[in-house]
Amino acid sequence: MRGEMNPRERWSLLLIDEFPDRPPVFPLVTSHAANVFGCDLIQYCTDGKILAEAQLAAQRYYGHDGLSVFTDVGIIAEAFGSSYHLREFDVPILDQPVLSDLSNIDSLQIPDPGSNGRLPVYLEAIDLLFRRAGDVLPVFAYIPCPFTTAAGLRGVENFLIDTMMNPEAAHLMLDISCRAAERFCDECILAGALPILVDPLASGSVISRRSFKEFAAPYQRNLIRCLHRYDLDIMLHICGDTSNMLDLIPGTGADLFSFDQVDINAVLDEIGDRVRLVGNLPPNNLLASSSMSIEENTDIILSKGLKNPKGYVLSTGCEVPIKCEHRKLQAMINLGKTARYENGW
Amino acid sequence: MTEPRQIDFREWHRFFKKIPEETVEETRYYRHLPNAEWSQYLFPPSTHMVYGNRLLRKLLFDNSPAALRLWGFVLSEGERIYRARQAGMKVVAVMGDLGAVTPLVYSFPDTIAFYPDCLWWTPFLMESRVLFDEAAEYGLGDDCCFVRAALGAFSKKAYFPRPDLSIATVGATCDDMAAVISEAELIGNEIHYFELPHRNDIESDFDDLKNFLAEQYRELSARLEDITGSGFSREHFRQTVKKVNRLRWLIAECKRLCGDGEKNPMGAVEMMDIEFSALSYYGDLKECLAVLEGSHTEIALRRARGKGYSGQDIRLLWLTPPADPLLLNYAEELGGRIVGTEYIINQTTPLFNEEGDPFEILAENQLQASLMGSSDFRVKLILNELEKSRAEGAIISGVFGSSHCPYETVPIVNALRNAGIPTLAFDVVAPGKKRMQSQVFNRMEAFIESLRARRKRHAG
């Protein structure tokens, strides 16, 4: 259609404080792409070509505004040596953390993105997506933040205990996780993707505000500072309830904040003048078993998000469920595509 | 000083980490605006690549900090124009063989110009047909010059902000751009037309032509007064022209230094960036001047020390700017060295008489345009460049569908061959046509091989 912007154009304008024809519609379509493409999740998580083809298939099917390269939050921890259990019908889970005790912290080596774990899967997928569609579709690589990676090095419970009982060791793990994330980000950028930093375990649903302030935010900030050096616009995604730490988000330097179980009004009021917002249809609304009205809920979120002074992206609060009902996700996306800004050319 | 080399985006990404943070923070455009955190621009090609400029993954770049600054400045032009608008500046689009109008535009306070025609590089940089497909929606398809990308951009409203004023030439100007402008007007963009008379190259007609153009500059100045709310100031104009003269001098000097000496001190793609800065100064005259001073210093220093790229020794004249910058890289990879150019923007090269009547000196300048009259004029420009550059061969990168190319190419080739210069002429291939692109590469390779053989024969 004449004059219609493509996703690349929409995002480009949003990121320089301009109004695109409509807000980008970017539900976090990650492993659900495997469901659309018809492959199992082991293939999706271990083969860059399949991951890329699945992402392209899902984007063609739904027409959303971006491609998501993401398998699981353990991708860096696994490259350090933690073992993950791959499953056909669900995302990988931590099997054996590399640091069963703290005595071998010093032996950790920053992973080589070209050869360790499944990091090369990401790079292959990004490269393919960028070559196939990078002119019209931004490619986003979801990179686990240091807090989440450190939890994958030690096991979640052990790491949370370390933050209380052995904070020095926790900081050591966070520091090396940060350097690994930085190196991986570099390679993802060079392959053609813009990093999205994800920190699901730094959620208010898991840790306190104090822990977030001491163990999560400083490393998010460091990583974002490294990426800002290259003038990249960085989205930070934190799952669950982040209402008790909203005021700390701008301090991380994030340019966009993808939020989950928080009232959009609270986010708008607290940080909307400083950070672009991305959210937040509850993913469980998209399940067949949900009786929530997609149209009604999307409309409520959208009408509020559009007013955000720093810009807005319609999204889901977290990953689209693997078995989401296609019809429901399509309804959300279609509604997002009808939204318009009053301002513009 | 680092040893001059051409490096890829990966290497620049790594080197960039070594550039001091203060240097990055201090390198800004629109320096008169306080607290503009968006105005930094010293970033490596990978930054622009990740936002969709996919060709940057294939290009080779000079490894000097001056070249990094040049690239950062050039590639940030799109954002800069939007920021200018956001900061309350007036944005003027200048279209169709101009580049001679911009000194007048910049002489008004808080007013900048940009050149939509230059969007013809965007599909190549992005390796994309998006803007061409959009232009095709309006009937401008593959039988129109690559400048049709500008129409795609007008339609999409995502590549530059709505201009406060769009100036466009009519008359003795590029037919394809004229078609683009007409369509842009039809879809709701108000255009201030500026008529270029045919330069018949008869000396006695020169004054009439000059007066005709000067009158139009006066009208345009009045229009700019309305748009900006500021009166035309001779003093501001004089100051602007002074800066423009410095910029043009720097460009000429960079070109001269790149043609002289044993080794090539700067890449042809960087040199094309430098030459095209003369059109609209990439949206910030003052900063553009600073960027070019840096490039000139680097080139002069390398030249003085006899430094340059190794393995580039076949002296080439390049005619008509290649829409695909990769071609310049490729010529260099094959051992070519671009020692002279005629990029059909001759109107941006002469120095202004700083004390003359403003509108008359602009008119005189306009009359030097490459494409306002007979092909003979351009042939003379080319032969002049040939003499200066001592080129061994010439490459003409034409544009399929461009109205002037088919008329000019034969007389240019004939003139060069008569002067004993082997010439290769081809049409630049649109993005995505890999097989056709490889044919062009083959022809370039064979051409440079034959020049090398010819040199041996002559030496023998």
CB contact under 8 A, B162 and A192: no
Domains plus CATH for chain A?
7-337 (3.20.20.210)
B244-290 per-position pLDDT tens digit = 999 999 999 999 999 988 999 999 999 999 999 999 999 999 999 99
Question: How much is the pLDDT for A31?
Answer: 98
Q: Show residues of chain A in contact with B9, CB under 8 Å.
A: 190
* Closest alpha carbon to A311 in A262, A280, A274: A274
Q: Are A198 and A148 spatial neighbours (Cβ–Cβ below 8 Å)? A: yes
Of A106-110, A127-131, A191-195, B34-38, the poorest mean pLDDT is in: B34-38
Q: Are B424 and B393 spatial neighbours (Cβ–Cβ below 8 Å)? A: yes
Q: Which of B21, B130, B138 shows the shortest C-beta gap to A6?
A: B130
CA distance A343 to chain B (A): 12
The answer to whether ipTM exceeds 0.85 is yes
Residues B453, B440: Cα–Cα separation, whole Å: 20
* Average pLDDT, rounded, for chain A: 96
Q: Which of A4, A138, A231 shows the shortest C-beta gap to B40?
A: A231
Q: What is the DSSP string of B85-132?
A: HHTT-EEEEEESS-SSSHHHHHTSTTEEEE-GGGGGGHHHHHT--HHH
Q: Show residues of chain A in contact with B136, CB under 8 Å.
A: none
Residues A284, B180: Cα–Cα separation, whole Å: 50
Q: Which of B9, B47, B51 shows the shortest C-beta gap to A12?
A: B51
Question: How much is the pLDDT for B405?
Answer: 79
B148-187 per-position pLDDT tens digit = 999 999 999 999 999 999 999 998 888 899 999 999 999 9
Of all residues in chain A, the percent with pLDDT exceeding 70 is: 99
Structure-token match 């954002």, residue found: B79
The reply to whether B162 falls in a domain is yes
How remote is the C-alpha of B36 from its chain's centroid? 27
A77 class by beta-carbon count within 10 Å (0-12 exposed, 13-18 middle, 19+ buried): buried
CB contact under 8 A, B43 and A186: no
Torsion angle defined by CA atoms of residues A124, A125, A126 and A132, in that order, rounded to the nearest 10 degrees:
110
B277-310 per-position pLDDT tens digit = 999 999 999 999 999 999 999 999 999 999 999 9
Residue B48 has pLDDT above 80, yes or no: yes
> pTM surpassing 0.90?
yes
Contacts of B58 (CB under 8 A, 6+ apart): B326, B329
The reply to whether B1 falls in a domain is no
Contacts of A139 (CB under 8 A, 6+ apart): A66, A67, A69, A126, A129, A130, A133, A192, A193, A194
CA distance A5 to chain B (A): 6
The reply to whether B168 falls in a domain is yes
Output DSSP code: residue A203: S
B88 class by beta-carbon count within 10 Å (0-12 exposed, 13-18 middle, 19+ buried): exposed
- Taking CB atoms within 8 Å and a gap of at least 24, the contacts of A291-295 are A294/A328, A294/A331, A294/A332, A294/A335, A295/A331, A295/A335
Q: Are A63 and A333 spatial neighbours (Cβ–Cβ below 8 Å)? A: yes
Interface test with A, best of B7, B21, B23, B50 (most A CBs within 10 A): B50
The reply to whether B332 falls in a domain is yes
- Interface residue ranges in chain A relative to chain B, Cβ cutoff 8 Å: 2-6, 8-10, 12-13, 16-18, 20-21, 130-131, 134-136, 138, 186, 189-190, 192-194, 229-232, 344-345
Strands A93-96 and A83-85: antiparallel
Q: What is the DSSP string of B62-84?
A: E-SHHHHHHHHHHHTHHHHHHHH
* Closest alpha carbon to B76 in A16, A11, A255, A345: A16
Q: Where are the alpha helices (DSSP H) in B229-284?
A: 234-259, 268-280
Interface test with B, best of A143, A183, A190, A228 (most B CBs within 10 A): A190
Q: Show residues of chain B in contact with A5, CB under 8 Å.
A: 156-158
Higher pLDDT, B201 or B268: B268
Question: How much is the pLDDT for A344?
Answer: 66
B107-118 per-position pLDDT tens digit = 999 999 999 999
Q: Show residues of chain A in contact with B91, CB under 8 Å.
A: none
- Domain containing B141: what range? 6-459
> C-alpha distances in angstroms, B43 versus A90, A229, A271, B47, B112?
40, 8, 28, 6, 23
Q: Show residues of chain A in contact with B52, CB under 8 Å.
A: 8, 12, 134-135, 138
Q: What is the DSSP string of A233-286?
A: --EEE--S--GGGGGGHHHHT-SEEE--SS-HHHHHHHHTTTSEEEEEE-GGGG
Q: Where are the alpha helices (DSSP H) in A6-155?
A: 7-14, 32-37, 41-46, 48-62, 75-80, 119-133, 146-154
CA distance B49 to chain A (A): 7
Question: How much is the pLDDT for A267?
Answer: 97
Q: Show residues of chain A in contact with B13, CB under 8 Å.
A: 186, 189-190, 230
Contacts of A204 (CB under 8 A, 6+ apart): A212, A240, A241, A242, A243, A244, A245
* Closest alpha carbon to B158 in A65, A14, A337, A314: A14
The reply to whether B344 falls in a domain is yes
| Domain count along chain B | 1
